[in-house]
Chains A and B, each alone.
Chain A
Amino acid sequence: MKKYNNIQSVLKIRELRKSFGDNHVLNGFSLDLYEGENLVIMGKSGSGKSVMIKCLVGLLFPDSGKIEIMGNDIADLKQVDMNILRMQIGFLFQGSALYDSMTVRENLEFPLRKHKEMYEKKDELVVETLESVGLLSAIDLMPEELSGGMKRRVALARALILKPKIIIYDEPTTGLDPITAKEIIQLMRAIQEKYNTSSLIITHDIDCARVISNRMILLIDGVNYAEGTFNELANSTDKKIKAFFK
């Protein structure tokens, strides 16, 4: 695996295409995620945002296009190297995806299993990470005993525990009440400052986008339709762009 030296863009997508049968979801999508930034991707439901990030972490295979993560073209990586690379990426799933047969503690320990040095100090790490999302008291609960917001925070802790360089959030605030959503957003900012991660954030939530984004990309019709800061896009005169900011 190549070491990433002096490459500013930690994540690079070029001309990504993916179809399911006749359903052409992505038609040449490109993006760059730079070190330390919060990049927000917005797009309508069903526009292929989840498909795009699943291609990123190798859960789906694109039909064509190039994906580079920290200088590694993921199409060239062997499974072993891909798994090493995956440890540098935190992934927050749309529905939290906590392992429901395991306690919160075991959920957090799970990503550490393949990481020898970190596994040895797993107890400290679990406590530290849970503390940072404010849920230490829930350490021995089962996921079914948690509320939606708590689940999201535990899932966030699980995505963070390996101290990843990149975090991918799939709709971190969807399905939460505005107050809990705000808490999650605060948490995301705190994490970003503490660990200096680069984040790719997918959201419908315009408030979330305003607070957190350094830069935004609108995914429309399977391509990166528009790109800019929140204010630039919010003041755009293009009809399709305006529709997002109503």
Chain B
Amino acid sequence: MAISLKISQNIKSFFLEIGELSFFAIRFFKEAFTKPFEFKELLRQCYNMGNRSILLVGVTGFILGLVFTLQSRPTLLEFGAVAWMPSMVSISIVREIGPVIIALICAGKISSGIGAELGSMRVTEQIDAMEVSGTNPFKYLVVTRVVAATLMLPLLIVFGDTIALIGSALIEYLKGEVSFLLYFNKVVKALKFSDVLPATAKSFFFGFAIGLVGSFKGYYCKKGTMGVGEASNSAVVYASMLLFIIDFIAVFVSDIFFEI
């Protein structure tokens, strides 16, 4: 009895949370398109996010490319299809693995960062202080961060994909003596518009989700230092979950438009 009560409470609070997040998103759209715009702060946030994540994304991408190529080589060799390596790697990385892995990494880095930053600003009354000094904190803190994440994620993903392909090309060069030029020639030939467009489109949504969830958790952080930790932690969890849901929807939709 007690357990079922607890479960039903958890389910209830989960749906409540989704409702609140939706209101938060609606408020974002309302405030994002009304003056005044905080361009300077937006640029600063873009720079910060890019700057803080680029190394992580680069390293992850490089290893991803290396490992992926090393793992698939034996199988492709067996079928005598190793010449297909560039096309296979590029399509799977650009379409799916790259965006999802890099978005997950960024959920860990950016979403939790925003959650902790806004959370501690809430707890130490800095957000109240902004409000009192006549600046709209939602615009200044939330809108800038969500927009920055939405703009920066696609760039980070393109960067990460490129590094991953360089990693893969390196293996091919070392193991199969395929030159970089030949490798990338094949990559360019293999990639179609219908591979690149949906991937890029969904990475904007990934960025939006990462920024939104982080801001939501931080902005409504509960008081106390416990609250800050919880905000940053649950920001990562919810953002990661949302990424997979978006990915599922994106694949579904692109399947309709560009039949695979």
A-to-B contact residues, CB < 8 Å: 54, 57-59, 83-84, 86-87, 89, 91, 93-95, 97-101, 110-111, 113-114, 158
**Which residues of chain B are within 8 angstroms of A59 by Cβ–Cβ distance?**
128, 131-132
Complex: A100 Cα to B130 Cα, angstroms: 12
19 additional contacts, CB 8 Å, given A95-B125, A101-B117, A111-B133? A57-B132, A59-B132, A84-B134, A86-B132, A86-B134, A89-B132, A91-B129, A93-B125, A97-B124, A97-B126, A97-B128, A99-B121, A99-B129, A99-B130, A100-B124, A100-B126, A110-B133, A114-B134, A114-B135
What's the minimum C-beta distance from B230 to chain A, rounded to whole angstroms?
20
Pairwise interchain contact B125-A94, C-beta atoms closer than 8 A = yes
In the bound complex, CA of A113 to CA of B63 (Å): 45
Query: What residues of chain B lie closer than 8 Å to A110, measured between beta carbons?
Result: 130, 133, 135
Complex Cα gap A83–B27 (Å): 19
Q: Which residues of A contact B135 (CB under 8 A)?
A: 110, 113-114
Q: Which 6 A-B pairs have the closest CB atoms?
A: A111-B133, A83-B134, A97-B125, A97-B129, A91-B132, A114-B134
Asked if residues B132 and A95 are in contact (CB atoms below 8 Å), the reply is no
Complex alpha-carbon distance, A142 and B69, angstroms: 47
**Interface residues of chain B: helix, strand, loop or mixed (majority):** helix
Determine if B126 and A86 form an interchain contact, defined as CB atoms under 8 angstroms apart.
Answer: no
Interchain nearest-CB distance for A165 vs B (Å):
15
How far apart are the CA atoms of A57 and B130 in the complex, in Å? 12
A-B residue pairs in contact (CB < 8 Å), sample of 14: A59-B132, A86-B134, A87-B133, A93-B128, A95-B125, A97-B124, A97-B125, A99-B126, A100-B126, A110-B133, A110-B135, A114-B133, A114-B135, A158-B133
Most A-side CB within 10 Å, residue of B120, B128, B130, B132? B132
Q: In the complex, what residue of chain B is closest to A110 when comparing beta carbons? A: B133
Measured CB to CB, the closest approach of chain B to A110, in angstroms, equals: 6
Shortest C-beta distance, A156 to chain B (Å), equals 13
Contacts of A111 in B (CB 8 A): 133-134
Question: How far apart sit A114 and B133, CA to CA, in the bound complex (Å)?
Answer: 9
Q: Output the least CB separation between B199 and chain A (Å).
A: 34
Q: How far is the CA of A99 from the CA of B41 in the complex (A)?
A: 14
- Are A95 and B134 in contact, with the CB atoms below 8 A? no
Within 91-131 of B, Cβ neighbours of A (below 8 Å) are at 117, 120-121, 124-126, 128-131
A93 and B123 CA atoms in complex are apart in Å by 12
A21 to chain B, nearest CB (A): 15
How distant is the Cα of A111 from the Cα of B131 in the complex, in angstroms?
Answer: 10
Tell me the minimal C-beta distance from A2 to chain B in angstroms: 19
A86–B129 contact, CB under 8 A? no
| A92 to B, closest residue via Cβ | B129
Alpha-carbon separation in the docked complex, A121 to B125 (Å):
28
* Residues of chain B from 52 to 105 with CB closer than 8 A to chain A in the complex: none
What residue in chain A is nearest B134 (Cβ atoms)? Answer: A83
Interface string of B131-153 (1 = CB under 8 A from A): 11111000000000000000000
B132 and A98 within 8 A (CB): no
Task: State the Cβ distance, A119 to closest chain B Cβ, in Å.
Answer: 12
Question: Across the two chains, which residue of chain A brings its CB closest to B44?
Answer: A101
Give Cα A91 to B134, complex, Å: 12
B133 touches A86 (CB 8 A): yes
Q: Name A58's closest neighbour in chain B (CB-CB).
A: B131
Provide the residues of chain A in CB contact with B128, threshold 8 Å: 54, 59, 93, 97
Q: Residue of B at shortest CB range from A111?
A: B133
Contact A87 B134 (CB under 8 A): yes
Known: A110-B135, A113-B135, A114-B135. A98 touches B126 (CB 8 A): yes
CA–CA, A57 and B133, complex, Å: 10
B129 contact set on A, CB distance < 8 A = 91, 93, 97, 99
Residues of B contacting A98 in the complex (Cβ-Cβ under 8 angstroms) = 126
Closest to B123 in A: A95
Bound complex: CA of A58 vs CA of B128, how far in Å?
A: 10
Q: Which residues of A contact B131 (CB under 8 A)?
A: 58-59
Closest Cβ of chain B: how far from A197's Cβ, in Å?
A: 16
Complex Cα gap A93–B130 (Å): 11
B residues less than 8 Å from A83 (CB atoms): 134
Give, as a whole number of angstroms, the nearest-CB distance from A101 to chain B.
8
CB distance from B17 to the nearest CB of A (A): 20
- Counting chain A CB atoms within 10 Å of each CB, the highest count among B121, B129, B130, B131 belongs to B129
Determine the residue in chain A with the shortest Cβ distance to B128: A59
CA distance A237 to B135 in the complex (A): 47
The residues of B that contact A54 with a CB separation of less than 8 Å are 128
| A133 vs B135: C-alpha distance when bound (angstroms) | 24
**Residue among B120, B124, B130 with most chain A CB within 10 A:** B124
Residue pair B130, A95 in contact (C-beta under 8 Å): no
| B29 shortest CB reach to chain A, Å | 18
